[in-house]
Structure 1
Amino acid sequence: MRRIVAFSFLLLSLLLAEQSAAQQKPAPDKAASSAEKKPRKLTRRERKELAKRAEIETAGQQARPLSERDREMSESFFVDGVKYVLLEDYNKALERLLKAYALNPTNAAINYKIAETNLLSGNLKDATNFAQSAVKLDPKNAYYYLLLAQIYTSQKQYDDAAKVYTSLIHDVPGSNYYLFNLADLYMAQGKLDEALATFDQAEKQFGPIDEVSFKKQQIYLKQNKLDKALQEGESLIKANPEEVRYVLAQAELYASNNRPADAIRVANQALKQDPDNPQARMILADVYRQQGNAAESEKQIKLAFESPALDIDDKVRILVDYIRQLPNPKLNATALDLAGITMRVHPKEAKAFAVAGDIQIITENKKDARDSYLKAIHLDNSKFQIWQQVVLIDAELNQIDSLQRHTDQALELFPNQASLWFYNGVAHLLKKEPTKGVKSLEYGRKLATDNPELLAQFDTQLGDAYHELKDYPKSDAAYEAALAFDANNAQALNNYSYYLSLRGEKLDKAKEMSGKLVKQFPDNDTYLDTYAWVLYKLKDYNGARQYLEKALKTSTDGNVIEHYGDVLFQLGQKEQALTEWQRAKKTGEASALIDRKIKEKKLYE
């Protein structure tokens, strides 16, 4: 099918027919060009001064015919002006062009070039005046009309621009192809009937044109004339039976206008032409979904995802839509399958593995999610968010070696991320490396000063780390800092009170903190054990026994069982104490004194 392309007037506007052969443009002097200062727009005062000088000089010239000398000077100034327009020095360009105009004001090309220069320098008023003059002086030059139309359009004077196009088409032979410009202008104004009429006029001149049919479809849809829009689409398909894109566009039009049977028919027509076309599959998937046919919809979307022709970015957008709806028992399996297909079809795309990891983590497939994230990192290690997800999964799965390894790797790339230092410090603490843990935590804490919540987490971990190093003043200070931010920080309250009880210091404070936790969490066996041990240190053995027995209803922790044995021993129930110590030993979690307690049947602390 033929296509008509409107020429850009700017490509042919440097020298026009009105100038003689003597006005051939000389090559710009390179040395002079490099020495020119950066061009600037004329001020209003400068423009007025230049125009005034031109008017004065013009008045003196109009009374007499143009001499040969004046003609040559005008041509010289014109060529000079064109050179400075090319150099974007509109100040000097206008100065030369206005001198040419003063000598020869009825020259259409000079008027045109002054208009164009004023447009480029932002002086639309003068641009309009000179462009109008150029059209009047040479009403058969299409480029003069086009410049005037552009100037009107830049001022949002669309009606005037339309009139210019209409005059151009009417007055300049061979200008019918500007009907397309006029129709587009009508569309931009919302004058849909005028646009349709103009497109129809253009098609009478040049025959059917596919781009025009698309635009007419848009107009019909805006006018709620669906049948005409569909008719235009069918005409396109008939005229271009080999173009599958027209078939797909028609299928989408049917689908979006609640014509499912026609949408399925036309989409299948596209698949006959191109059996692997993913867009046709996506249209079918959407239509079947709207009809409630979930199985067929799922089948079609999976077939679409199997095609490498469906762009990875399109697949990611679809998967992100699934993520917004997850977790959902009806969608989880489909989302996971689509993520798996995407990774298989696009094995070199980091984003395929990243979005798959997001779906896997939401659907509680954390190990698979970490594997996917790690593959994404292998392909592109520059995304901090993906590293962060890996680290969080390591911590949640309590895989300490992985946590340390991955934080070490991530910190090489993102040394200023406080959260990475936090988890790196935690990994060292869990591996019984408190010195390394303190180093990471103290460094990361300096980076977290603008995040009070994260700062409190650092302080809590530092309290644990300094306790392991037996630096009790720093440990206490860290816990106090954490509790100053959040008085209900459970980890700080529990660990601080427990460590104070082990040291036998500030027991009243320890009782207050652990008692607060027990009131908030009356069934938490860890907090019950801490509170019982504080009571034990305060020699309230009966109270300690009461809370330990409550803790042992849910806990099988060796330390809790050993504590219960110690309490029973203090209450004189030595045989029962021995039984509890033996039970604690079997768990493998008792203290280093457990064997001695059992062997000598005595309490050692």
Structure 2
Amino acid sequence: MKGHLKRVALIAVTWLAGLSGGLPARAQEPSATARLHEIRLMIMDPGQIFSISATLAELDGLERGLGSEQADPTGHGELNYARGFLHYRAGRPEQAVGPMQTALRIDEGSHFLNEKERARFTYQLADQAEELKRWDTAVDAYRKASAAFEADPAVSEDQRAGTLERLAYCLHEARRFGEARTINERVLAIGERLFGGDSDKLLVVITNLAQNTYELGDFDAARRYLDRRLAIATAKDHSSHVDDALFQLGVLSFERGQKREAEDFMTRRLEIARRSGDHARITAAEEALTILHEKNR
């Protein structure tokens, strides 16, 4: 958010006619809730420079001046919003998630955030929950953020698809493979329309779909996605995707009882690695082929 409100300046004193010897009126310090709002505007302004630790310490002090949450929901909402965002910005997800959840819960009953702030903060909560592998929390937050982004014309279709991709990833990690597959299929369709069917921007979602379908036991679909991943990665010279696609194809073939084909994939990976001259790639490919030989005994 651009700009921020400065502390309320001291009120200029006006001497009233007919009075003498009186003291000038004292300025009113902003209430804890008003100061919390100022802090929110400050920390959300990308042009501001401030100390995270000092601001967190001020929040602790301001918290003591707040009434109950029931009496001052906005104050508690502002407090938790600022505290959650500062921990998020500092890279401390364990400390960020709780205040973020509290701020959004308060906002549901007593709105103090606008729509854009609410959507952005919900996405940040999802990101932090994902970092902590709290899959159910991440799924719920990504769903809400996705719905908000869908309603915002300023959010591009590519950005919306990116949020859906994170949602599908968390669903997969929560072992909700069918839901993840459905969403990833939607993401793939969007990507194909935006970038074309052979774009390397599709590699991640194609990989995710291969994993979804594999876990669902749809091995034919998994094979199609892995073949497509390999073709795109080879054409675009994405070595990490090439190596992993060949490895996954080898594993899939082995598990389907196609041992000769599995060895062909692993050998092909090793040959490509040797041509690259990359010692790390060569070592990884050799290890995978050795493991396969051991399993074939």
Residues 424, 440 of structure 1: 8 Å contact kept: yes
Residues 418, 444 of structure 1: 8 Å contact kept: yes
The amino acid of 1:444's aligned partner reads R
Which residue of the other structure, out of 7, 29, 43, is the alignment partner of 1:266? Answer: 29
The amino acid of 1:293's aligned partner reads G
Matched, 1:428 2:213: yes
Show the counterpart of 2:58. Answer: 290
Indicate how the Cα distance of structure 1 residues 351 and 400 shifts in structure 2: closer, same or farther if over 3 A, else same: same
Show the counterpart of 2:50. Answer: none
Indicate how the Cα distance of structure 1 residues 318 and 302 shifts in structure 2: closer, same or farther if over 3 A, else same: farther
- Structure 1 gap ranges (5+): 1-229, 240-261, 308-314, 504-536, 538-605
Show the counterpart of 1:322. Answer: 87
Aligned mates of 1:489, 1:234 — CA distance in 2 = 68
Show the counterpart of 1:558. Answer: none
Show the counterpart of 2:20. Answer: none
Shift of 1:414: 1.8
The amino acid of 1:356's aligned partner reads L
Which residue of the other structure, out of 419, 437, 445, is the alignment partner of 2:230? Answer: 445
- Structure 2 gap ranges (5+): 1-7, 15-25, 44-53, 151-156, 193-198, 274-280
Which residue of the other structure, out of 161, 165, 170, is the alignment partner of 1:393? Answer: 170
TM-score, structure 1 as length reference: 0.32
Residues 302, 338 of structure 1: 8 Å contact kept: no
Residues 44-193 of structure 1: matches in 2 within 5 Å?
none
Aligned mates of 2:266, 2:140 — CA distance in 1 = 36
Give the 3-state SS of the residue equivalent to 1:267 in structure 2: coil
Show the counterpart of 2:22. Answer: none
Aligned mates of 1:339, 1:362 — CA distance in 2 = 19
Which residue of the other structure, out of 74, 91, 94, is the alignment partner of 1:303? Answer: 74
Residues 428, 436 of structure 1: 8 Å contact kept: yes
Shift of 1:289: 2.6
Give the 3-state SS of the residue equivalent to 2:175 in structure 1: coil
Show the counterpart of 1:373. Answer: 142
What whole-Å deviation, never above 9, does each CA across 1:429-486 have from its counterpart, x for those lacking one? 2222222111111112333334322222222111122334555454323223444542
Shift of 1:386: 1.9
Shift of 1:499: 4.8
Show the counterpart of 2:10. Answer: 234
Residues 426, 461 of structure 1: 8 Å contact kept: no
Aligned mates of 1:306, 1:291 — CA distance in 2 = 12
What whole-Å deviation, never above 9, does each CA across 1:249-283 have from its counterpart, x for those lacking one? xxxxxxxxxxxxx99x5213xx8xxx878635759
Aligned mates of 1:295, 1:318 — CA distance in 2 = 11
Give the 3-state SS of the residue equivalent to 2:64 in structure 1: helix
TM-score, structure 2 as length reference: 0.60
Q: Which has the larger radius of gyration?
A: 1
Aligned mates of 1:446, 1:277 — CA distance in 2 = 57
Show the counterpart of 2:188. Answer: 411
Aligned mates of 2:209, 2:164 — CA distance in 1 = 13
Show the counterpart of 2:37. Answer: 279
Shift of 1:424: 0.6
Shift of 1:425: 1.1
Alpha carbon RMSD of aligned pairs, Å? 4.3
Aligned mates of 1:371, 1:473 — CA distance in 2 = 44
What whole-Å deviation, never above 9, does each CA across 1:473-515 have from its counterpart, x for those lacking one? 543232234445424449x845x55554554xxxxxxxxxxxx
Which residue of the other structure, out of 111, 116, 128, is the alignment partner of 1:359? Answer: 128
Indicate how the Cα distance of structure 1 residues 489 and 389 shifts in structure 2: closer, same or farther if over 3 A, else same: farther
The amino acid of 1:266's aligned partner reads E
Residues 122, 144 of structure 2: 8 Å contact kept: yes
Matched, 1:333 2:98: yes
The amino acid of 2:228's aligned partner reads Y
Aligned length: 234
Residues 84, 97 of structure 2: 8 Å contact kept: no
Indicate how the Cα distance of structure 1 residues 376 and 429 shifts in structure 2: closer, same or farther if over 3 A, else same: same
Show the counterpart of 2:244. Answer: 457
Residues 93, 131 of structure 2: 8 Å contact kept: no
Aligned mates of 1:418, 1:375 — CA distance in 2 = 26
Aligned mates of 1:291, 1:319 — CA distance in 2 = 11
Indicate how the Cα distance of structure 1 residues 378 and 288 shifts in structure 2: closer, same or farther if over 3 A, else same: closer
Residues 59, 83 of structure 2: 8 Å contact kept: no
The amino acid of 2:10's aligned partner reads E
Shift of 1:418: 0.6
